[in-house]
Amino acid sequence: MDNQQNLKVALVSLYPRFADSILSGEKKVEFRKTRMSEEISRVVIYSTSPVKKVVGYFDVKEIVAKKPLALWKEFKDTSGLEFGEYTEYYNGKEKAFGIVVGNVVKLETPLNLEKLGVNNPPQSFMYLDWRDIEEELIGNRAGLIQRFKLIVNWFLEMKVALVK
C-alpha cells in the first residue's frame, strides 16, 4: 500500500448540493476553472456553508481539459448542472477542466478542517499530503464494504498497469 501513502491529494470546497450529489453517485465530474495538477489522484470534499465540514473523498479517474462547450457535451448527463448554470460558470473562459470522479467514500462523521491541519477552507482547492490526513479519513470511512471496494479497485488498477 505504499502507493496509497504517496497519493497526491487536493482539498476542494463545494456547495453542499454538489458535495451531496458526488457522494450519492449522481454527479460524476467536478468542473473547475483552473487546472489542477495531473498528479492528483484523490480529492477530499469540503462542503461549504451551512455544513462547513469535510464530508468525504473520491479517487480521480482522470482530469479532462477542453473548450467549455466540448466538456459540457461529454459530461452533461452526469454533471449535476443545468446548461445555464454551466455557461454562467465558464462565461468568458477559453478552457474548462473536469475532474472525473472514481471511487467515492462518504465519511460516517463529517470532520472539521482542523482535523486535517487546515485552518481555513480553500477558495477553490489546495493541495494536501495524504500521509498527513490518512488516519483521520481512513478511520472515519463509511463501512467495510467501501474499504473493500477501494482495495479491490486498487488491485485491479495495478494489474492493468502491469499488463500494459
Q: Which of the residue ranges 11-20, 73-82, 104-113, 154-163 would you say has the lowest mean pLDDT?
A: 154-163
Ordered DSSP codes for 119-145: SS--SSEEEEEHHHHHHHHHTTBS-HH
pLDDT given for residue 29 in this prediction: 97
| Band (62; pLDDT cuts 50, 70, 90) | very high
User: Can you give the residue range of the structural domain that contains 152?
Assistant: 2-163
**159: which residues sit within 8 A by CB, 6+ positions away?**
none
Say how far apart CA 103 and CA 107 lie, in whole Å: 13
CATH of the domain at 127: 2.30.130.30
pLDDT tens digits, 98-138: 999 999 999 989 999 999 999 999 998 999 988 888 878 87
Q: Choose between 67 and 135: higher pLDDT.
A: 67
pLDDT given for residue 5 in this prediction: 55
pLDDT given for residue 143 in this prediction: 52
Cα 34–Cα 99–Cα 74 angle in degrees, nearest 5: 105
pLDDT given for residue 135 in this prediction: 79
Q: 2-35 burial, b if ≥16 CB within 10 A, otherwise e?
A: eeeeebbbbbbbbeeebbbbbbeeebbbbbbeee
pLDDT given for residue 8 in this prediction: 86
Ordered DSSP codes for 14-37: E-HHHHHHHHTTS--EEEESSPPP
Q: Which element (helix H / strand E) includes 108?
A: strand 96-111
- The whole-chain average pLDDT of the chain stands at 88
Say how far apart CA 104 and CA 108 lie, in whole Å: 13
pTM score over 0.85: no
Mean pLDDT of all residues in 132-156: 71
The number of domains in the chain is: 1
pLDDT given for residue 141 in this prediction: 54
pLDDT given for residue 38 in this prediction: 87
